[in-house]
């Protein structure tokens, strides 16, 4: 009896101690799990952030280091229409978006005179395509058209000819855009491209080879302060197109702007 009475309190004390130990152990395991989960979460977030940065940097490099079409400027911000024909002459930069109605009007009315002055060597002409209207109009027609024009030049075609034909086929309704069939098949055929040249052009178009270039020229134009199209600059200064009363006055307007101090 005495043995039972002595054992009772001791057993109860031991059980309480054991329960406390188990509770502390459970609490410690819970804390450990929480620390591990938190640590893993931080690692996962870090991986995602770093992965995102790496991906973003990779994409940036792909755009910045993309293939350039023939006769690209040294800055990679446009295409020189008449390389080597106007050394020391005024530099004319034409900023445009293929979905811009005003750009279409300028090209259809004065395009031949703009190009004519360049071909005669009166000035160096640089086409600087932009694609900002894709965002405004919620499509990618400007990007695809800019890519197509560069692909046409890459395949050995005449860049200005394709450029003009795109504007000649500009939809009457802004935002309707250009179909792939028009850009890929109809326009090069109308210009007489066929055989291996046409195949090369179409492969380039399908691959979007110069979309990175178009994005690059758009960014460069924005950095240069271009906020609307069409914009013409002569030696870095905007040309007031409203001063021309006739389309054939473009070369003279350039000469006057270049002579002005």
- Give 17-35 pLDDT, tens digit per residue: 566 666 665 555 544 444 3
Q: How far apart are CA 1 and CA 20, in angstroms?
A: 29
More confident residue, 18 or 249: 249
Q: What is the pLDDT, as a whole number, of residue 110? A: 97
Paired tokens of 237:
């200064």
Q: What is the mean pLDDT of residues 57-85?
A: 75
Q: Cα dist. 63→136, 139, 140, 210 in Å? A: 22, 20, 17, 9
Lowest mean pLDDT among 7-11, 52-56, 203-207, 211-215: 52-56
More confident residue, 244 or 143: 143
Q: How far apart are CA 220 and CA 100, in angstroms?
A: 18
Check whether 65 has a pLDDT greater than 70: no
How far is C-alpha 132 from the chain's CA centre?
Answer: 9
Paired tokens of 122:
């009166």
pTM of the model: 0.75
Q: Are 241 and 230 in contact (CB under 8 A)?
A: yes
Q: How far apart are CA 239 and CA 222, in angstroms?
A: 17
Q: How far apart are CA 216 and CA 214, in angstroms?
A: 5
Checking DSSP bridges between strand 237-238 and strand 231-234, what pairing results, if any?
antiparallel
Check whether 165 has a pLDDT greater than 80: yes
Q: What is the mean pLDDT of residues 222-237?
A: 97
All residues at 6 or more sequence positions from 152 whose CB lies less than 8 Å from its CB, including other chains = 158, 159, 162, 187, 188, 191, 193, 201
Q: What is the pLDDT, as a whole number, of residue 48? A: 30
Q: What is the mean pLDDT of residues 70-96?
A: 93
Query: What is the spatial order of strands in the sheet that 124-130 belongs to?
Result: 79-80, 124-130, 91-97, 231-234, 237-238
Q: Are 117 and 123 in contact (CB under 8 A)?
A: yes
Q: What is the mean pLDDT of residues 190-202?
A: 99
Percent of the chain whose pLDDT exceeds 90? 70
Q: What is the pLDDT, as a whole number, of residue 85? A: 76
Q: What is the pLDDT, as a whole number, of residue 23? A: 61
Confidence band, pLDDT 50/70/90 cuts, at residue 154: very high
Lowest mean pLDDT among 13-22, 186-195, 202-211, 222-231: 13-22
Q: What is the pLDDT, as a whole number, of residue 15? A: 60
Check whether 7 has a pLDDT greater than 80: no
Q: pLDDT averaged over the chain?
A: 83
222-257 as b/e, with b when 16 or more CB fall inside 10 Å?
A: eeeebeebbbbbbeeeebeeeebeeeeebbebbbeb
Q: Which residue has the tokens 């109009």?
A: 137
């Amino acid at each position: 009896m005495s043995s039972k009475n002595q054992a009772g309190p001791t057993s109860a004390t031991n059980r309480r101690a054991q329960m406390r130990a188990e509770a502390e152990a459970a609490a410690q395991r819970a804390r450990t799990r929480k620390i591990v989960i938190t640590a893993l979460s931080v690692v996962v977030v870090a991986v995602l952030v770093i992965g995102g940065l790496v991906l973003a940097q990779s994409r940036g490099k792909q755009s910045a280091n993309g293939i350039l079409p023939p006769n690209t400027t040294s800055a990679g911000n446009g295409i020189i229409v008449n390389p080597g024909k106007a050394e020391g002459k005024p530099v004319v930069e034409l900023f445009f978006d293929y979905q811009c109605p005003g750009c279409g009007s300028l090209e259809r009315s004065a395009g031949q005179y703009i190009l004519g002055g360049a071909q005669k060597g009166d000035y160096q002409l640089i086409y600087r395509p932009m694609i900002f209207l894709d965002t405004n109009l919620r499509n990618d027609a400007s990007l695809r058209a800019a890519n197509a024009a560069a692909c046409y030049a890459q395949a050995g075609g005449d860049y200005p000819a394709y450029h003009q034909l795109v504007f000649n086929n500009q939809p009457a309704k802004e935002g309707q855009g250009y179909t792939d069939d028009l850009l890929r098949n109809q326009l090069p055929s109308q210009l007489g491209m066929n055989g291996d040249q046409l195949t090369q052009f179409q492969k380039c178009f399908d691959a979007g080879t110069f979309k990175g270039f178009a994005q690059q020229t758009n960014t460069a134009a924005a950095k240069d302060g271009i906020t609307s199209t069409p914009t013409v600059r002569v030696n870095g200064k905007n040309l007031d197109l409203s001063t021309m009363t006739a389309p054939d006055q473009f070369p003279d307007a350039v000469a006057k702007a270049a002579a002005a101090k």
